[in-house]
A and B are shown apart, each in its own frame.
Chain A
């Protein structure tokens, strides 16, 4: 019998070793950009909560507060023309991929000037020209679609790579298995990123998934699999980059588990009865933004004044986006049928 072992994209020892080196080697602007995006995500979602509480939002929202390192670290490993497909908890990916904050906020508010002209809302923000091929609201649905996107890249001999984001809840769907197998046999240029925030809606990944860590699933598809500290933006960046460049070389997909935690409830109706406040508080101590700020200060990449300025600018950018978005017109319900089919 052949012994099968997990093939990580990157040796865990290498990750910690290279961490300090990355703080030295990555351009200061790049590191500052990462912090800026993480702050923008945090403030965007806090603003979203605020607007919701004030009764200005029709519909629901799924916040990724506490998971900012997962989206930013992964997407930081991409080239600008690389692509993403993601899921309903997708504000972070959208911002990290370079979305216009006003258009995003306008979509969240259901306005005509929003990315999807108010037809999609928080769960379905797409920015096709920006390489964000959209968020899907049915858990796991983006995974088979990702196979097709990557197939098109391969058939056109494109150097682009696709990141496909989904949560821990998605990997128990049949679609996950079908898609990973297909991507693996065809060696498609896609990196599957499972953002394990530890709960589906209320179902804990620890009890809902038969195998731990989740990245062990990669063995079944003969692709590299790795679990990474999803609250460490530099660790996420390194592992994703190794997998992305491997995919770009034509060596096929990889499966990465960003182990993180969702601070807020699943959506607005969540009373958090399936977990303890102590657990939530404990994870708040591992705030990915605070950790990154500290790392940047300790490595003397940024001064404390620079960190504060980035933070303040992010907050200000979100405030401005919200103000402008609130002033956008509502869409008209007339002639919607004409939009269903492409000419």
Chain B
């Protein structure tokens, strides 16, 4: 297939296409969540799917996140492949017991004699003016729970390919979507394809500074790279895509090459995934190649504020990445 033949879809449409195609392929796949049927989901991801698959497989639930997660866990234990939607990632707090104590534990706790093939789809992140209870990025909690995988795609192509992989995976997979990415467009092949979990991708090659990013921070890092390139600073942007399992090899190779690394994420800095990434680098052979300290650029340690200016100031923006990467590129020279 040539480049010209590949359609452009939005991130949102790519997710819908992955769900639709997997549901056509496998009768065990079904969706459940709040307002996903007639309403089409709070962001419209499942719009039109009720018409094709009916209310049994595009299942509207009461506002009961714990029971949604329990229903998904139990159905998965029986060999179904539920894809549950949590309307905003913040609401996953209500479902934590089922996800952390049941879904993540059942396989190991029962001696490997059961598996829980389910996906938790949920939009995370700020930028929509929805304030402190509708904007969180809570991935670090889940990364610290053995038994759950965590994926955070940045492009429409990855959203489709990673979601297909997540649905076919025999474990609970937390699939983090980003509200600001839903309307972004990119090439997405029509056929089914899957992207293995645990494979990062180098989005842009560069010699000076490695930027580790995922989700909405990938396009921001790429924009920053574009700007710095005009100043003669070349960033290498690594899109992690899958946070657990993590592609340590790609990270280590890139940092070994550039000798400088800036870790960027939206979630608050303290206890965030960036600390783990820094530790992975510090413990690896890349440590010997570092020409400057490992730097983190993360969300500030505050709840997401409502006001537009305050909200922007709460999480890394393009200009913040530019400033941090520029400083890092010059550090120790």
Contact = CB atoms under 8 A, between A and B. Distances in A.
A120 B109 contact: yes
A115 B111 contact: yes
A128 B146 contact: no
Interface stretch (B94-102, B184-192, B285-293): B94-102
A181 interface: yes
A147 B117 contact: no
A341 B107 contact: yes
B80 A155 contact: yes
Interface stretch (A28-36, A43-51, A137-145): A137-145
Interface stretch (A5-13, A65-73, A171-179): A171-179
A116 B110 contact: yes
A341 B242 CA distance: 15
Given A144-B73, A145-B74, A148-B70, A155 B30 contact: yes
Contacts of A343: 170
B230 interface: no
Given A144-B70, A175-B70, A341 B171 contact: yes
A210 B254 CA distance: 61
Interface stretch (B10-18, B59-67, B233-241, B297-305): B59-67
Given A151-B75, A175-B97, A145 B70 contact: yes
A328 interface: no
B75 A182 contact: no
B79 interface: yes
A18 B79 CA distance: 40
Contacts of A136: 101-102
B66 A178 contact: yes
Nearest to A107: B111
B71 A151 contact: yes
Contacts of B147: 340-341
A145 B78 contact: no
A334 interface: no
A341 B75 CA distance: 18
Nearest to B146: A340
B180 interface: no
A145 B64 contact: no
Contacts, number: 144
Contact of B170 (A117, A133, A151, A342): A342
A152 B111 contact: no
Contacts of A175: 66-67, 70, 97-98
A148 B111 contact: no
Contacts of A145: 70, 73-74, 77, 98, 102
B115 interface: yes
Nearest to A155: B56
Given A144-B74, A151-B75, A341 B149 contact: yes
A305 to B, nearest CB: 41
B113 A116 contact: yes
A149 B171 CA distance: 16
B13 to A, nearest CB: 27
Given A116-B113, A126-B110, A341-B147, A178 B74 contact: no
Contacts of B30: 155
Contacts of A151: 71, 74-75, 80
A128 B110 contact: yes
Interface in A107-164: 114-120, 124, 126, 128, 133-134, 136, 138, 141, 143-153, 155-156
A309 interface: no
Given A175-B66, A175-B97, A181-B67, A126 B114 contact: yes
Contacts of B117: 342
B141 interface: no
Most buried by B among A147, A149, A181, A185: A147
A114 B113 CA distance: 12
Most buried by B among A85, A117, A342: A342
B152 to A, nearest CB: 18
Contact of A182 (B67, B78, B101, B109): B67
A178 B94 CA distance: 11
B101 to A, nearest CB: 5
Interface string B23-64: 000000010000000000000000000000000100001101
Contact of B69 (A115, A138, A144, A174): A144
B73 A148 contact: yes
A178 B61 CA distance: 10
Given A178-B62, A182-B62, A146 B111 contact: no
Contacts of B170: 341-343
B281 interface: no
B29 to A, nearest CB: 11
Interface in A171-218: 174-175, 178-179, 181-182, 185
Interface in A252-273: none
B71 A144 contact: yes
Contacts of A114: 111
B72 interface: yes
A141 B100 CA distance: 11
B161 interface: no
6 contacts: A118-B111, A119-B108, A120-B111, A145-B77, A148-B77, A339-B108
Given A181-B62, A342-B107, 19 more contacts: A85-B74, A138-B101, A141-B97, A143-B70, A144-B69, A144-B98, A147-B74, A149-B75, A151-B71, A151-B74, A151-B75, A152-B77, A174-B66, A175-B67, A175-B97, A179-B70, A340-B147, A341-B107, A342-B171
- What are the 7 A-B residue pairs with the smallest beta carbon separation, nearest first? A144-B70, A148-B74, A152-B78, A116-B111, A178-B67, A178-B64, A342-B170
